[in-house]
């Protein structure tokens, strides 16, 4: 045995090093895979939240900026509008929080109960949309919708609507 050289095959140390290297490679593959799963879950949350934001957009796009009956007398739901079904103008939705969220047809989406839609309606300056005015203080309105997943903000968007009737 002594002094004998192994020309072929692997020594014990070489095999040991190979095992350690394979172990490291497998461990990093598993780590990469789990971070991919996490990213994928975040992607699902994002696309669901975007879908729910779109529902509010579709619902409010068809609504007049101010109430068709009382005009600018009330900012928010008019006195006789006690439920979502009665909401018929944009400012009725100011401060509205939907959890479970709602569809563009005002249906409750129980399947997405972990998500929340939050709506803010503000009048803004006709020359500077960043400048918030008093309620009904202009004929431009900024609609802001935020969607949360388990109270974690996921997406937010805002857009401008205008009423061409002078307030
Ligand atoms: Ca109304
Ligand atoms: Ca109203």
> What is the per-residue pLDDT across 61-92, written as a single tens digit (0 to 9) for each?
989 999 989 888 899 999 999 999 999 999 99
Q: Range of 129's domain? A: 27-162
pLDDT of 167 over the 50 cut: no
**Residue 18 domain-assigned?**
no
Instruction: Provide the whole-model pTM.
Output: 0.77
Share of the chain above pLDDT 70, in %: 94
State in Å: Cα 64 to ligand 2 middle: 10
State in Å: Cα 53 to ligand 2 middle: 21
**Residue 126 domain-assigned?**
yes
Integer Cα distance of 49 and 154 in angstroms:
6
**Residue 11 domain-assigned?**
no
**Residue 141 domain-assigned?**
yes
Number of domains in the chain: 1
Which residues, at least 6 apart from 32, have a Cβ–Cβ distance to it below 8 Å?
A: none
Integer Cα distance of 102 and 123 in angstroms:
24
24-50 residue pLDDT tens: 999 888 888 888 888 887 888 999 999
Which residues, at least 6 apart from 52, have a Cβ–Cβ distance to it below 8 Å?
A: 101, 109, 112, 115, 117, 147
State in Å: Cα 81 to ligand 1 middle: 7
**Residue 13 domain-assigned?**
no
State in Å: Cα 94 to ligand 1 middle: 11
pLDDT of 118 over the 90 cut: yes
pLDDT of 1 over the 60 cut: no
Tokens of 51: 């879908």
**Residue 119 domain-assigned?**
yes
Question: Which ligand lies nearest to the CA atom of residue 83 in the structure?
Answer: 1
Facing residues of 160 across strands? Answer: 142
């Amino acid at each position: 045995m002594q002094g004998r050289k192994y020309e072929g095959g692997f020594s014990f140390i070489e095999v040991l090093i190979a095992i350690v290297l394979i172990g490291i490679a497998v461990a990093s593959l598993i780590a990469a895979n789990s971070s991919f799963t996490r990213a994928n879950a975040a992607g699902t949350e994002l696309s669901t939240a975007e879908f729910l934001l779109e529902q509010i957009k579709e619902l409010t796009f068809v609504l007049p900026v101010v109430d068709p009956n009382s005009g600018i007398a009330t900012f928010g739901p008019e006195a006789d509008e006690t439920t979502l079904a009665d909401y018929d103008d944009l400012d009725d939705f100011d401060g509205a929080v939907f959890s479970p969220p709602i569809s563009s047809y005002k249906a409750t989406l129980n399947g997405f109960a972990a998500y929340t839609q939050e709506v803010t309606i503000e009048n803004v300056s006709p020359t500077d949309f960043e400048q918030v005015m008093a309620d009904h203080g202009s004929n431009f309105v900024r609609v802001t919708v935020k969607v949360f997943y388990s109270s974690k903000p996921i997406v937010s968007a805002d857009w401008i609507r205008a009423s061409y009737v002078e307030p």
